[in-house]
Structure 1
Amino acid sequence: MSYQSLPPAAARLYRLLAMHPGADFDADLATALDPDGEELLTTLAKAGLLRASHGDRYSFSSLAQGHALQQLHRTDSAAEQLAALRAMVWWYVDRAIAADKVISAQRWRLSERYADVPAFDGDDAEAMDLLEPDRANFVQVATAAYESEMDDAVLALAEALWGLYFHRQLYADWKTVNEVAVRAAVRREDKRAEARMRCQLGFRHYALDDFAAARAEFVAAVAVEPADHPRGLATDLESLALAHFSLGEHAEALDCIERAIPLAPQDQQRALLSHHRARVLSALGRYDEAFAGLGAALKHTQDKGDRYNEGRVLASIGETFLRTGEPAKAAAELGRALAAMVEKRRMFQEAVVRGLLSQAHEQLGDRAAALDEARKAHAILHVLEHPREPVARQRLDELS
């Protein structure tokens, strides 16, 4: 079947899909352009104008896409083309939001779009798996939306992708999307959004152990945050505290946390701040205070069923036991932390916990177990191409 023989609705979909920002797309995307979109995709595939692939995804050949674009510019007005692009962009935003409502269930948001989008029906790992096939598309969509001055969509998308990027360590995508989002917030003169996007970008630097660059973004977020947005300022200060802590600036970290706690309106946010405060106290050798804070934070995460943050707190308890010279207790808590990270499929945090477990086993005199955990930690960091990989490799060499 040729293009000229297509039913009008199929021909229209063929033309509009040529504008899609990305190499391939999920079949459900077509419903954003036509209520019968999925049926029309079958028509286009049978006509040889689209290629169907595994996972109910479709793509153009370069020749077909060129032809579709040619027909688009001949047939559809600029207003119709923009409306179609907007429909596709918002389809991606809504898909990311639905997943993020599961991935980052306790996180506060700026985008009002969250109120209108139902949550994905699955757990957080399944929600991230849902988004993974569209990783490249999300980057292209953010860029296309920015170029079309759809700043509200850019900001909503960047906010919604935070959990995916943070937990799956998608560093390149994270950088590109959030840099575009910062520019969108500045162009929109939206100070709250700019602060949030700078925090998200700062955490990308933080995740790669570039703590000085992270601190610079967090300082900028604190500076730009409006005075009438205490929840945002609490997040900015919390983020800045983590950068200070990682740079060994413990007094500055503690000051940021103490400033943030009274500003935080959510129990979840206050609990996370209490966890960070306890980590700083542990590093300062104030162990009784640290254990008290960690115990309270652990109870909160368990009461909320927040398995990921429960694992983070357990890791901090284990690390504190290492500092107090109690490796057996450390190993017990770190074993519980490891189970949580494996269950939640948090690879980087799994590597961190295995590194601490290796230290505990070494202090207990079990060199074989220490080597095994160090080897597993190194393998994860190698796969993630993380800056800590050389340090992990050096530890392997020392244990070997």
Structure 2
Amino acid sequence: MHFHGPSAPGETPRPTPRQLPRDIRGFVNRRAELSRLNAILTAGAGADARGNGGAGGSGEDECRPADGVMVVDVCVISGTAGAGKTSLALHWAHQVEANFPGGQLYVNLRGYDPGEPVRAQEALHHFLTALGVPANAVPQDTESAAALFRSLVAGRKMLVVLDNAASAGQVRPLLPGHPGCLVIVTSRGRLSGLAIRDGAHHLTLGTLPEAEAVALLRAVTAGFRPEDDGGKLAELARLCAHLPLALRIAAERAAARPHLRLDTLIADLRDESALWEALSTGDEQDAEAVRTVFAWSYRALSPDTARLFRLLGLHPGPGFGIAAAAALAALSPRRARQLLDSLVSAHLLEQTAPDRFEFHDLLRAYATDQARLEESVGEREAALRRLCDWYARTADAAQRWITPARARVPLDPPPEGAVAGDFADYDQAVDWSEREHGNVLAAVRAAEKAGLDGYAWRLAAIFFNAQAPSAPVAEWLAAGEAGLRAARRVGDPAAQAGLLDNLGFARRRLNDLTGALRSHEEALHIRRRLGDRRGEAAARNALGLVLLRLRRFDEAEEDFVSAASTFREIGAEHWEAVSHVNLAEARLEAGRLDGVAEHLDRAGRLHRRMRNPRSLGNVLRVRSALHLRRGELPQALRAAEEAVELALDLRNRVLEGHVLLSLGHALAASGRYADALASYRRAGVIHRALGDRSREALAWRGTGETCRALGREEEAADFCRMAATVHGQLGEPWNQALALAALAAILRERDPAAAARFRAEGLRLVARFGDAAARAMRERLAAEGERER
């Protein structure tokens, strides 16, 4: 049972994605392969009309599934590196896009890049956001994200292009479940598992016949050179091994030198080929031909352009912007733009957006090799330092907008001439953080691998504070652990404490309360040893939040009181206000309402004076719960609605998901059951995306209790049963008891015996708690049991 489905009334309709990169300029030939793809499309359409999703075509390379295996519309285009698999897939996709009114999705899975391939979870995040799912509403586990993807594309005729796949396992979670969709996969391997299990068609792409290779050379050079002799073009094609990638690069060089005789270009390439043949083992002749053309084209670059090309091979992420390239090579952005344009013109770099670039995987590997050959170890390290420094300073600038109240990470003086990014407003900072998320985390790994521990820990620490509210915290966790290792190696205890607290916050959001408690306790120990009063107060406040989740209210209240007192003494008003809100929530959850309003009033005054809307949203959330306990329904509803609006303005899905639960409670208590269900549904989707199974289960319980009020008892029981199961798995006895109590109330008349069992189990779980709320619940459940007897 999931919280996704057709858009609810008033929700924005799902967008139609158009993600195909632009068609290949001057695409020629591959007529037989295009005909094969057209036949597959026709066969798929016929199968879809019959409703069985059958396979079509009868080429000798085509694989047929075993009997009893459901055929899905998948075609794998395989072939050697540089054979033009992507070009063919994209050219054909543009030709047939009108057949797919549901839209087109595209992702480069980077299965053969020197770096890490794209995980299925990352690709699903890319697809789901294109389909209208808010970034923080994308499930963090692959199975749930894949299920949501299949649900959203069901019934839509869509084309999905999965480029550069390394394995069937990387592809399979990205397959729609509806035969009206067609998936095109490109790979260097055959991915036979997709044919056997998923009924995929297979198309092998070889090198071009000589006539087609010559036609490609003519197409690229047309209008730039006088018509060249066919025999000489055939010789040039042979030196390129008839591989489209090599042919295009060679043709671009010929087109850029219209007055240079083709004989001269051929002689240069033949000399380069002889050199490679002398250095190679004779294996992988196609790959050697490609490297020959790369080297031939690379040596024709100006010294500055060649230097930028090889330094870009050191960039740890898959794509990059102009400013990052400028930092890497110690250039001005204007000069970097000029050199990047030259690389694009030489077909050595691909431009994916007005200010974004990336390599073909073969070219990136070649650039990296050239950097190792031509740049000294010191020069390579200096380039990586400049890049890490740019990411660190730009992330620091983003933090000033995204989390301005958090302590800034100290940075060394910038290198001479270094320029960091800056932002005009909150939205610009968030946009940058979302766009560079993968690059910054990759930079942390690269810095650690290169022994740049100072950058490794600083990048991890800064980016925790500069992450976009939509960022999945699980992805930062590995970078945070790498940063902590680096901080320990350099012997910086303050850095260790800061990262430990960050790791604690991340683990708490992922419901690893034991790990979170351990991280914050270690941070507290370090802060005390350093005599860092502000840090000690921050660690105690963080500890209190974990203890609050564990319902250890007395300990949590002690930590919050201590933190608030210290923050007040040192003049840290923001964090004093935060501690007061946490203290109010601890007292409220424990069933002690005295003093709650006063703590909230003080926190609200401080946050309003400091114009801190994020924290003010949290004040409103707790205030809504207080009004609800007092039976003040209009005030509870108003506070929750205001908190939701603040969260939406901030693009803060963590806060939005939390306050939507409060809004659902207030709506249900007010008798607005349909609105309450919508609020719980949104909260459940967001918390699934955040990986917060505990709060997702709270949304389920709210849904179940609301369904019961509407008389939909079967649905109510299902939701409460699911909630009880998850809370039990997470080791949350209090929430499990609440879900079991709700389930017992639902089943009281339909199944009294089951209701009694659930009520007894709830009583057993609650017995371990001694707070006022637990005592009241024990009395209520015992009274209900007595009435039933």
- Alignment equivalent of 2:591, drawn from 266, 269, 285: 285
TM normalised by structure 2 equals 0.49
Q: Does 1:258 align with 2:573?
A: no
Contact 2:390–2:420 under 8 Å retained in 1: no
Range 353-362 or range 321-330, more displaced: 321-330
Shift of residue 359, structure 1, vs aligned partner:
1.1
Q: Aligned with 1:52: secondary structure?
A: strand
Alignment match, 1:302: 608
1:237 is matched with 540
Map 1:16-31 onto structure 2 (within 5 A).
16-31=311-326
For residues 33-57 of structure 1, the C-alpha deviation after alignment (integer angstroms, 9 at most, x for no partner) is 1222221111111111111102511
Q: Report deviation, 1:114.
A: 9.5
Equivalent position to 2:496, from 194, 197, 202: 194
Distance in 1 (CA, whole Å) between partners of 2:326 and 2:468 is: 30
Q: CA deviation at 1:396?
A: 2.7
Q: What is the SS of the residue equivalent to 1:161? A: helix
Instruction: State the AA in 2 paired with 1:137.
Output: N
Distance 2:472 2:372 in 1: 36
- TM-score when scaled to structure 1? 0.94
Partner of 2:595, secondary structure, is helix
* Alpha-carbon contact 2:664-2:702 (below 8 Å) kept: no
* Residue 98 of structure 1, aligned match among 390, 397, 406: 397
Task: Map 1:364-379; keep pairs closer than 5 Å.
Answer: 364-379=670-685
Encode CA deviations 1:168-214: one digit per residue, 9 max, x unaligned.
24222220111111111111111111111010011011112322221
Q: Does 1:212 align with 2:531?
A: no
Structure 1 residues 305 and 171, CA, compared in 2 at 3 Å: closer, same or farther? same
Matches within 5 A, 1:97-176: 97-113=396-412, 120-165=422-467, 167-176=469-478
The aligned residue for residue 396 of structure 1 is: 703
Asked whether the 8 Å contact 1:342–1:350 carries over to 2, the reply is yes
Higher mean displacement: 8-17 or 117-126: 117-126
CA distance in 1, matches of 2:420, 2:446: 25
Q: CA deviation at 1:293?
A: 0.9
Residues 300 and 119 of structure 1: is their aligned pair in 2 closer, same or farther, counting only changes over 3 Å? farther
Secondary structure (helix, strand or coil) at the match of 2:320 reads strand
Report Cα offsets for 1:298-350 as digits up to 9, x if no partner.
11111111111111111111112222332222111111111111111111221
Kept in 1, the 8 Å contact 2:322–2:337? The answer is yes
Alignment partners' CA distance in 1, 2:427 and 2:413: 20
Measured after TM superposition, the shift of residue 14 of structure 1 is 0.6
Q: Which string of whole-angstrom CA distances, capped at 9 and with x for unpartnered residues, describes residues 68-91 of structure 1?
A: 222222211111111111111111
**Unaligned ranges ≥5, structure 1:** none
Which ranges in structure 2 are unaligned for 5 or more consecutive residues?
A: 1-252, 254-296, 708-789
Do 2:617 and 2:643's aligned partners in 1 also have CA atoms closer than 8 Å? yes
Does the Cα contact within 8 Å between 2:484 and 2:499 map onto a contact in 1?
A: yes
Selected match of 1:344 from 623, 633, 650: 650
Mapped to 2, the partners of 1:177 and 1:353 lie a distance apart of: 29
Q: Deviations over 1:89-125 (max 9, x none)?
A: 1111112111111111122224235999878333333
Q: Does 2:384 match 1:70? A: no
Measured on the aligned residues, the alpha-carbon RMSD in Å equals: 2.1
Give the Å deviation of 1:393. Answer: 3.5
C-alpha separation between the residues in 1 aligned to 2:368 and 2:551?
A: 55
Matched, 1:83 2:378: no
C-alpha separation in 2, matches of 1:307 and 1:96: 21
1:14 paired with 2:316, answer no
Give the Å deviation of 1:374: 1.6
8 A contact 2:433–2:468 mirrored in 1: no
Q: 1:383 to 1:218 in 2, by over 3 A?
A: closer
Q: Is the 8 A contact 2:388 2:455 kept in 1?
A: yes
1:44 is the counterpart of 2:325: no
Larger Rg: 2
Which residue, out of 340, 343, 353, partners 1:54? 353
Q: Deviations over 1:352-397 (max 9, x none)?
A: 2111111112112222222222222223234444313344235334
User: Aligned partners of 1:114 and 1:309: how far apart in 2?
Assistant: 32
Shift in alpha-carbon separation, 1:117–1:350, aligned structure 2, 3 A:
farther
SS in structure 2 of the partner of residue 96 of structure 1: helix
State, as a whole percentage, how many aligned pairs show the same letter.
28
Instruction: Work out whether residues 327 and 360 of structure 1, in 8 Å CA contact, stay in contact via their aligned partners in 2.
Output: yes
1:282 Cα deviation (Å)? 2.1
Q: Over residues 268-311 of structure 1, what are the superposed CA-to-partner deviations in whole Å (9 max), with x where a residue is unaligned?
A: 12121122122222223332411011011111111111111111
Report the AA paired with residue 236 of structure 1: A
Q: 1:233 to 1:385 in 2, by over 3 A?
A: closer
> Does structure 1 residue 271 correspond to structure 2 residue 574?
no
The separation in 1 between residues aligned to 2:481 and 2:557, in whole angstroms, is 29
Other-structure match for 2:731 = none
Which AA in structure 2 matches 1:239?
A: A
Instruction: Check conservation: 2:657, 2:683, Cα contact below 8 A.
Output: yes
- CA positional deviation for 1:164: 4.1
Superposed CA offset, 1:142-164 (max 9, x none): 01111222222122212221234
With 320-329 and 182-191 compared, the bigger mean Cα shift is at: 320-329
CA distance in 2, matches of 1:136, 1:75: 28
2-side partners of 1:119 and 1:80: how far apart? Answer: 23
